[in-house]
Amino acid sequence: MSVLRKDFLWGGATAANQCEGAWDHDGKGVSVADICTGGRFGQSKRITPVLEEGTFYPSHEAIQHYDRFKEDIALFAEMGFKCYRFSIAWTRIFPNGDETQPNEAGLRHYDEVIDECRRYGIEPLITISHYEVPFGLTKKCNAWVSREMIDYFLNYCRAIFTRYKGKVKYWLTFNEINSAIAPMGALLNQGILNDLTHPTEFMHQPDQPQQRFQGLHHQLVASALAVQMSHEIDPDYRVGSMMIYSASYPLTCRPSDVLANQKYNRLYNYYCTDIQARGAYPAYAKRLLDEMGVEIQMHPGDAEILKKGTVDFITFSYYMSSCQTAEKAESGEGNILGGVPNPYLKASDWGWQIDPEGLRYALNDLYDRYGKPLMVVENGLGAKDELQADGTVNDDYRIDYLRRHIEQMKEAVQDGVDLMGYTPWGCIDLVSASTGEYAKRYGFIYVRRYDNGTGDFARLKKKSFYWYKKVIASNGENLSD
Ligand code: BG6
């Protein structure tokens, strides 16, 4: 008897802008990801509203998944995947975002991807908007700052919900919706860019919380309407929310640190999911927003929409944890959602503190709070891999990271959590979202492509590929090498 349920959705996750490439093929429009240059840890990628000749834009070729998806899905099937989480590039379906009719070539592409998954019995889990808002909408109305976006998003949802009816069951509305609680989510998650003429550093965009929180309100309303629309189109559809769970602990047991941690949790971990899962703004929202000088414009009827459009399940990414203190303290480099380093934990080469027990905590915390089925749709170790002369990669550090997180996931299930599945991030190496580089690798499959523009995109199985295959075959019981 295994700890995890028999139909546990083992798999992996990617996002279109980080793996597809073919950024302007078959009628695809420009997304906000397509105007981001490469970067690396300690050197922010840049946002260039006007594309620069000779500059490297990693999304333009990424790992060529658009043309190689059959080869990649065959490798996923070889590992025994039951589920593949991928995103649809909004700009393949509506190139500028405001067209009335969808682009047939884009729709056809995802028909093929879904059919290929189905051929192997792999359940597609589709993220509708994963960090690639149409840049046309940024230029037209500064994207999610504007309420018009709700209609553009719903047109897009209608097109894909209708087209893929009967072939898809699970959808996620916005990837890491709560990334917009921090300034780094403004462009990628929300398509907000105030200077359309000059390049900006991705990590240091001038910030306006009013825009981000108003944008979030529009996204939350859009998400709730999308949930309702999906059920009208196909009562079998199941639509989930998707957040970054940033496990957080008080730095000390000083009551002021405990309060600082509570405030952090409310803002980063609960604000969006309270609304998406419980259907209303939480009582604490007003004071938090007041303190930031934010005033949200709501339309009559919004409260009713939020109430009626609660999600069917909750998903999240989990990579790291941090600590909170009421004292003035420097944020640790790499802790992208703020906080200070935990003295008991080690960090990855990118400064993300590794905390497997934090995943057990996260699962219990979310299940206690919402009581809805959960799924871990991202988790993994971004690391520098070394390709050996014989084509192998001995990524024991990745196996160790994943094993320890799966162990904690199983603990959480024994604690009583209803866990649907696990799709580790970047099951095939792809471009990093935060730094825009290839060097930060997550995959079970190595892709021979480098930041200097060299490499033939060949796919090579890492040691973790064979390990994960055994894990899946044993439904998580055999975690040894
Ligand atoms: C999540 C995103 O933030 O984490 C992914 O949903 C992203 O798009 C992943 O790639 C890992 O982050 P990074 O910056 O290492 O690519």
- Residue 372 Cα, ligand 1 centroid: separation in angstroms? 24
Compute the Cα dihedral for 88, 89, 93, 98 and give only its sign: positive
Q: Does 176 participate in catalysis according to the annotation? A: yes
* SS3 of residue 323 by DSSP: strand
Phi-psi region of 26 (alpha: psi -120 to 50; beta: other; left: phi over 0): left
Contact assessment for residue 383 and residue 338, using Cβ atoms and an 8 Å cutoff: no
Whether 332 has a pLDDT exceeding 70, the answer reads no
Please report the pLDDT score of residue 129 as a whole number: 98
Contact assessment for residue 130 and residue 188, using Cβ atoms and an 8 Å cutoff: no
Each residue's pLDDT tens digit, 106-134: 999 999 999 999 999 999 999 999 999 99
- Residue 244 Cα, ligand 1 centroid: separation in angstroms? 10
Please report the pLDDT score of residue 380 as a whole number: 98
Residue nearest to atom 7 of ligand 1 (CA): 433
Each residue's pLDDT tens digit, 239-251: 999 999 999 999 9
Each residue's pLDDT tens digit, 406-459: 999 999 999 999 999 999 999 999 999 999 999 999 999 999 999 999 999 999
More confident residue, 318 or 328: 318
Whether 331 has a pLDDT exceeding 70, the answer reads no
Mean per-residue pLDDT over the chain, rounded: 97
Contact assessment for residue 44 and residue 202, using Cβ atoms and an 8 Å cutoff: yes
Pocket probe for ligand 1: among 336, 428, 434, the residue whose CB has the most ligand atoms within 8 Å is 434
Catalytic site residue from 20, 116, 123, 378: 378
| CATH class of the 9-473 domain in this structure | alpha beta
- Helix (H), strand (E), coil (C) string for 340-402: ECCCCCCECCCCCECCHHHHHHHHHHHHHHHCCCEEEEECCCCECCCCCCCCCCCCHHHHHHH
- Confidence band for 41, pLDDT divided at 50, 70 and 90: confident
Residue 308, number of CB atoms within 10 A of its CB:
12
Percent of residues, the chain, with pLDDT higher than 70:
98
* Burial class of 17 by CB neighbour count within 10 A (0 to 12, 13 to 18, 19+): buried
Contact assessment for residue 110 and residue 164, using Cβ atoms and an 8 Å cutoff: yes
Please report the pLDDT score of residue 335 as a whole number: 64
Q: Where are the domains of the chain?
A: 9-473
Tell me the HSE value of 273 on the side-chain side, using a 13 A CA sphere.
31
pTM here is: 0.98
- Residue 15 Cα, ligand 1 centroid: separation in angstroms? 9
Q: Mean pLDDT throughout 271-276?
A: 98
Please report the pLDDT score of residue 329 as a whole number: 67
β-bridge mates for residue 447, sequence order: 459
Helices 396-415/463-473 angle, 10° precision: 20
- Residue 345 Cα, ligand 1 centroid: separation in angstroms? 21
Tokens at 424, concatenated = 């580790």
What is the residue type of 357? E
Task: Looking at the CA of residue 176, tell me the nearest atom of ligand 1.
Answer: 6
Please report the pLDDT score of residue 334 as a whole number: 62
